[in-house]
Amino acid sequence: MDKEERAKRKRRRLWMRTAVLMTLAVVVSYVFYTNFVHTEEAVSEGDQAPNFTLMNMDGERVELADYEGQGVFLNFWGTYCPPCEEEMPYMEDQHQAYLDDDVEILAVNVGESELTIDRFVDRLQLTFPILMDENSDVMDYYGVGQLPATYMIDENGEVVHIRVGGMSEEHVQDFMEMVDPTST
């Protein structure tokens, strides 16, 4: 009986260990999926663009709601992102072309120091508003998973198009026209 009792205990321990390991595997798989694989945007085309407030490079508060009635080209970027750097001169050209129109570029830098951003902006001679999302809160709120990511927002605050990845000069021109209230 002693041998039989030990065998039963061994089987119970084996089942218990298996159950614990399976539960752990399911939890780890779920965490991996929700954080790394599941890429559904929090903001989709057709949604109202969520309002946010960030500081610009001059230390002023900028709120998306301040641009109500205007088209907004909302770009999330980082200095470490080669496609981001490549599209910046195109964005600057379009910023200059639309200076007197109701379209604004808001370039949201995610998680970098003011000094790093300032050097980048100076080197590329950028004049459009640069906003600082120091803790990536706005980026996370919008569901941005990859940089660059650009949200075209019309004068009514609706996200009319989302572009993930770098843009050519033609893309930037087309997207600025897309949100220009006078072009419809």
As its CATH architecture, domain 47-179 has 3-Layer(aba) Sandwich (3.40)
pLDDT at 64: 97
Residue 1 pLDDT grade (very low, low, confident, very high; cuts 50, 70, 90)? low
Residue 92 pLDDT grade (very low, low, confident, very high; cuts 50, 70, 90)? very high
Q: Which helix (H) or strand (E) segment is 76 a member of?
A: strand 71-77
Residue 33 pLDDT grade (very low, low, confident, very high; cuts 50, 70, 90)? low
Model confidence pLDDT, tens digit, residues 34-77: 555 544 458 999 999 999 999 999 999 999 999 999 999 999 99
Q: Where are the domains of the chain?
A: 1-38, 47-179
Residue 134 has pLDDT above 60, yes or no: yes
Q: What is the mean pLDDT of residues 157-169?
A: 95
* Long-range contacts of residues 134-137, Cβ cutoff 8 Å, at least 24 apart: 135/111, 136/110, 136/111
Dist. CA 182–CA 92, nearest whole Å:
20
Question: Residue 29 is which amino acid?
Answer: S
Residue 93 has pLDDT above 90, yes or no: yes
- The percent of residues above 70 in pLDDT, for the chain, comes to 92
pLDDT at 38: 44
Rounded mean pLDDT of the chain?
Answer: 90
